[in-house]
Structure formats: C-alpha cells, structure tokens
Amino acid sequence: MNRNNSYARAAIFFAFICLPPFLFPFIRGLSPFWGDLTYLQHPWRIFDSQELMTGRLPLWNPYLYFGMPQAAAMQDGLYYPASIIFDFFKFPAALFLFHILHYWLACFLCYLWIRSLGFSHPASLCAGLIWGFSGIAISREPFLNHLSSFSLFPGLFLFLDIPIFFALTLSAVFFAGYPPFLAGAVFSSILLVLTTRRKFLETSLRLLAGCVFSLGFSAALLVPASELFQNSVRALGITQAEAFQFHLRALDLLQWISPALSGLSRFNPAVNWWTCLYAGFSGFFLVLLGLSQMPLKKKIFWLLWISLILILSLAGANAFSSYLWIHIPFLRFIRYPGNISYLILVPAALAAALGAQRIIDIPKVSPCLPAVLLAAELSFYAFKAFPLEPFSFFPYKGPLVEFLQNNLGSNRYLLSPLALEKTSGQGIYDWKSRLYGLTNSPFELSAAGNFGQPLVPADNYALMDFLYGSNGLHHAQKIMPWADIRYLLSPSKIPQTRSLQYQGLLVWQRYEIVSSKNLSRAYFLSPQAGNFFPAGLAIPKPDIALEPLKVENLKNANGYQISGNGRPGWVFLSEARYPGWKGYLKASGATRPIASQPALKAFQKIEVPQGWSALFLVYDSDAVWRGILITVFSFIFLFFYAASKMRELRH
C-alpha cells in the first residue's frame, strides 16, 4: 500500500470511529456537561471569549477569588490554538468540534508515530485506537485541558529527531493547559530515546534543543504562570490529604481489561473517571501478545515501567505506594495518583502494534481484523461513557443568578464552603443554580471565594481560609464591609446578628449586610486609621468609619478610577494586591506613580496627600508583556529560519 494513501485511509478510519459518539447526541440537541465541563471549562472559555470579543486580552478576572490573573492561569487554554473554536461558536457546538478534533488527533498522531517506527498500516491503526479511544482517553472528556494535552503527546514522539517541530508541539502541549501531563510527556520522550533510538547521543541533543526552543515559543504563558506559581499555595506542593483523594485500589486494576469485569451497570467514568482505564478485551490481548514478542531487554524495561506506574497509582491504598508517592520529590506537585495512569499508554501502544503485527502475519487472517474488533469494542464503551443534557443547560441561570444580577451590582457575594453538597430539588440544574466552582464568572458576578481552581494567589487563598475557618462566620461578618461583600449564602440558617439581615431561601439561605447601601470597592481612611489598618489577617477596629469613595471601572483597561475629597489619608481598595497592579495618583494637575501597601493580607491601601483628586489602579503585568515579547521574537526567528531552509531547498 502506498504510504501516503495509507495515511489518508487512517485519517478517514479514525474520523469514522471518533465522530458517532459525539455526533448522534449533538444532532439530538444534547451535550456532555459533567464535572469540570460545567464547573471550570465553561467559565474559563466564556470569560476569555467575552474579553477577546471586547478587544481586550483577558489579563485579570475580577469575578474569581477576590480577583486573579487570568492570563497567568495555566489551565484555561487561552493561548492554545484550538481554543479559537470557542470564540466563534456557542459553547455546546464548540465543545462538539473540540472533542472530535482532539480524539481524532490523538488517534492519528499515535498512528503516525507508530508508523514511523516501521510498523504496518493495520498494526498502527490498533496503536492509534489504544492511545486515542481507550478508557484513559475517554475519561478525559470533561477535562478539556487534559484531553488536548494528552492528544498531542504522540506528536512529541513523532518529532524526536526534528527539534523545531518537537519544540512547537511541546509548546502546544503547555498552552493546552495541564502542565503535569507536560512533564510526563517529556519523561516519556526520554524513555523512548533510551529504548527505540540507536543514535542515542545525537537524538538526546536534538531532544534537549527542542526543549530549549520551546521555552521561547511558550514564554507568553510560561513567564506569567511562573510568577503565579511562585505566589500561589501550590509553590510548596500538594498536601497528602488532597493528593490521595483519587487513587486506585487493587480491584480497580481489572479496569485495565474491560468495564465488563466489574459490571457494565457500574461503569460510570463520569463519577469514577480515574478508574476508567480499559483497553478492552481485544486491546488487552494485543498488548499482552506484543509484550511477549518483545526482545528480552525491552520487555523487562517496559514491564518495570508499567509496574512502577501501577504501584504509584495505588498510593493511598497501601503503605508502600504511599511511601513512594510522599518521598519522590516531584510527585508532590501532581494531583491524584490515578492521574498518572496515562503513562502506561506509551508501552501499551508499542506492544499493541507488535501484537497486532503478529496476528496479521498469520496466514488467512484479514489484516484489518484486529483494528475492526478493537474499534467495535471501544466504540461500544464510548457511547455509554457520559450523561448528556440539552444545549440550554450551559446558559441556564436559575433564580439565584437572576436575583444577584438584579441586586448585587458591583459588590461581591460570599458562598458557603459546603456548596458541593448543596441541592435544591432542581435535579441536575442544581449544577448551574448553586454557583459552585467558577460558574459565577460567565454571569459577571463577583465572588469572594470560589472552589475548584488550584493555582490561586496565596494571599487570596489565606483570606478565604480566614473566612471559612472555625471562626469563619464571626470573621465574615466583620470583614464583609471591607471586602465589598453584600450577600452571605448559607445552606442553613445562622444565628441572627446585628450586622446581617435575613432575606429568605433562594437555593441558599440569603443574608444581606446591614450596611449594604454604604458598600464600596474602596474606602477613605484617616491618616491614623490608615497607619494602623491591619496588613495581615485581623479584624479591623470597629470604630473605623466606612467612608465609601466613588469607584469607576476603566473602559479600556483592567482597573479602577477612584475619586476622592482631597483630604490627606489613605485609600483602602479591596482588590487583590498582586504583582502587575500599578497605581497612579492625580494631584495638583499632575499624575505620578504611587505604591501600595498590603491590607487584610490580600488587599491594598495607598497613602494619598492633601488635595488629591483621583487615584488610578491599573493591572498592567510586566510578566505578561515580557512573555508575549519573547514568544513573538521566537516565532520571528522561526520564520527566518524556515525561510532560509526553503532557500537552501530551492538551490
């Protein structure tokens, strides 16, 4: 078979396999919605699109966690090329296209990689199905950042000998939005160099060059993301309690074979996504057959690799696995032991291709038989993978959102940390109506605290802990005016207090701060009050009067204009004090830069002189623009490099 013709046939074959599980529900007006799709992915994509459509780069998100740097968020895929789909289509349609593209890409790139190693067309089809349509791939359906990162991995293996292409693919994996997978992809590339390349030193140098080039290509995100990481609670790693939440048990290892072994009625990748590992009976047979056909040294190497991943994935289920997870340094930055299972797919794809090749070589056996059987079995499981809801689910507001849109204004609300367990009798629409996760962001409602995003400025997180701690209710009532929090939303009634006014049940028990008419994002403080206003987590003295200042959002930038009465003192602003915020004071007809000081740990205060007229606070991150500049120059270099190569080819 002509090689180019086989590529075209493979592309069509994978499209035929990947399209039906998503097309049939889409035609019926149904969309997957489960988990991160609702809580994280939809809010991220919608906010980015809203900002881009207004002509602004989404640098700062004022609606989440008291405000946070959106352009530094590594998981929302802002710079990932395929994210443009969400800018041109409504979310359900964009989601449909995104899913099809990346499942097809995962299968086809793996096919190309295995084909480049000398395997036949039918054997490479089997490897592509193992990579892009097995349980590990299907379980990533709600995690768009996982899926897009995972789908590009075989491209790295394909371009091990071409540094520029390797660098571009590696940068795309980073932009896709899940850095722990990036580390696994690079490590897997090193393993492949060790096991499949004869020119070890030469290939290693090319791999290193590709990694170095990728730093420049990905700097637009890498530079601000590094700043956020250093200023986040994740800089010290993940706590053991959080890390071990989603681990495998010994019985879950049967899921590597087929969901049928644990009962198809219990097959629920939407809920137990980390145990969704299957290769299918046919796929598992191909992998075992392929491993048995490998040369002894390679067989031992890959079996040791598979065993190590299986042992680590059991962390939390037995003492030995937990000990390894705790004492291997880089693992403390990875959430969940079950999240590393994808690393087994590297030897699994190689072994499946070798096993399929062995069957194909049997006389009178159709070359396409292994791929057809494997595709049929994996497609059967894929159709049963995730629950569906009508397209109207994503824009659904619910009564609580409508109330807040009509009454909250520019103020914030504070949601109970028990939001995950709250139900109001609306069934699945509770997912949208209770404001869990980041679901407030698309509706432009400012939250004092959110749930679900791991990389958040540490000071913002500390203030959340202060409000949600054992004395949280007491602290919240005292902090609410200063944090511009108008409503407290609780799952149950709380004792009546002077500072809170009960407003009844609307999904949540609603309480409004008594001083709500006096709330503002900024307050004026006398010189004495400003000097002694707490910089850390402490309750401000009750005798400090609330003197609200007029605050206007800047139209063409992320920031505020605060107008005052000209008295000397301090301006307190309940916006996160994060690197990139710059202050400018207009006084006596001149404008000059002015520095801020910390207040209430997360916020800021600025000293103002007699006669001041306006204060401008603008988020204009040097880290973002520095990163973008490096990326632009890197692509300019790539353009001239490619042009010179084309000139050489013409000569």
Residues 188 and 173 grouped into a single domain: yes
Residues 568 and 550 grouped into a single domain: yes
Domain annotation covers residue 45: no
pTM for this predicted structure: 0.91
Residues 431 and 310 grouped into a single domain: no
Domain annotation covers residue 283: yes
- Secondary structure (3-state) at 595: coil
Reference 449, options 495, 485, 422, 475; nearest CA is: 485
Residues 529 and 596 grouped into a single domain: yes
Helix (H) or strand (E) holding 400: helix 399-407
Domain annotation covers residue 120: yes
Q: pLDDT per residue over 99-141, tens digit each?
A: 999 999 999 999 999 999 999 999 999 999 999 999 899 989 9
Residues 538 and 460 grouped into a single domain: no
Cβ burial, residue 79 (10 Å; 0-12/13-18/19+): buried
pLDDT exceeds 70 at position 648: no
pLDDT exceeds 60 at position 1: no
Q: For residue 481, give every residue at least 6 positions away whose Cβ sits within 8 Å of its Cβ, in sequence order, or none.
A: 513, 515, 518, 519, 546
Which of 52-56, 321-325, 370-374, 551-555 ranks highest by mean pLDDT? 370-374
Average pLDDT over residues 158-184: 90
Confidence tier at 153 by pLDDT (50, 70, 90): very high
Last residue of a domain, one of 388, 412, 433: 388
Domain annotation covers residue 628: no
Confidence tier at 4 by pLDDT (50, 70, 90): low
Last residue of a domain, one of 358, 388, 418: 388
- Secondary structure (3-state) at 449: coil
Confidence tier at 644 by pLDDT (50, 70, 90): confident
Domain annotation covers residue 448: yes
Residues 420 and 490 grouped into a single domain: yes
Q: pLDDT per residue over 61-107, tens digit each?
A: 999 999 999 999 888 889 999 999 999 999 999 999 999 999 999 99
**DSSP conformation letters of 193-254:** HHHH-S-HHHHHHHHHHHHHHHHHHTHHHHHHHHHHHHTBGGGG---HHHHTSS---GGGGG
Q: pLDDT per residue over 466-498, tens digit each?
A: 888 767 777 788 888 999 999 998 888 887 788
Residue-level pLDDT at 335 = 78
Confidence tier at 447 by pLDDT (50, 70, 90): very high
Q: How many domains does the chain have?
A: 3
User: How far is it, in rounded angstroms, from Cα 435 to Cα 251?
Assistant: 36
pLDDT exceeds 60 at position 410: yes
Residues 343 and 301 grouped into a single domain: yes
pLDDT exceeds 70 at position 53: yes
Domain annotation covers residue 629: no
Q: Are 150 and 181 in contact (CB under 8 A)?
A: yes
Last residue of a domain, one of 388, 405, 421: 388
Q: pLDDT per residue over 353-367, tens digit each?
A: 999 999 988 887 788
Average pLDDT over residues 612-622: 89
Q: What is the mean pLDDT of the chain?
A: 87
Q: pLDDT per residue over 255-277, tens digit each?
A: 788 888 877 667 788 888 888 88
Domain annotation covers residue 625: no
* Angle (deg, nearest 10), helices 345-360 and 296-313: 140
Residues 339 and 419 grouped into a single domain: no
Task: Give the residue numbers spanning the domain of 115.
Answer: 3-26+57-71+82-226+245-388
Residue-level pLDDT at 453 = 66
Residues 89 and 65 grouped into a single domain: yes
224-238, 292-306, 402-416: segment of lowest average pLDDT: 224-238
Residues 198 and 327 grouped into a single domain: yes
Q: Taking the CB of residue 365, how many other CB atoms lie within 10 A of it?
A: 11
Residue-level pLDDT at 61 = 92
Identify which has the larger pLDDT, 267 or 651: 267
- 411 vs 64, 482, 499, 516, CA distance in Å? 13, 11, 17, 9
Residues 162 and 311 grouped into a single domain: yes
Domain annotation covers residue 452: yes
- CATH number at 608 reads 2.60.40
- 574: its two tokens: 């309940």
Residue-level pLDDT at 283 = 92
**Chain centroid offset of residue 536 CA:** 30
Residues 362 and 424 grouped into a single domain: no
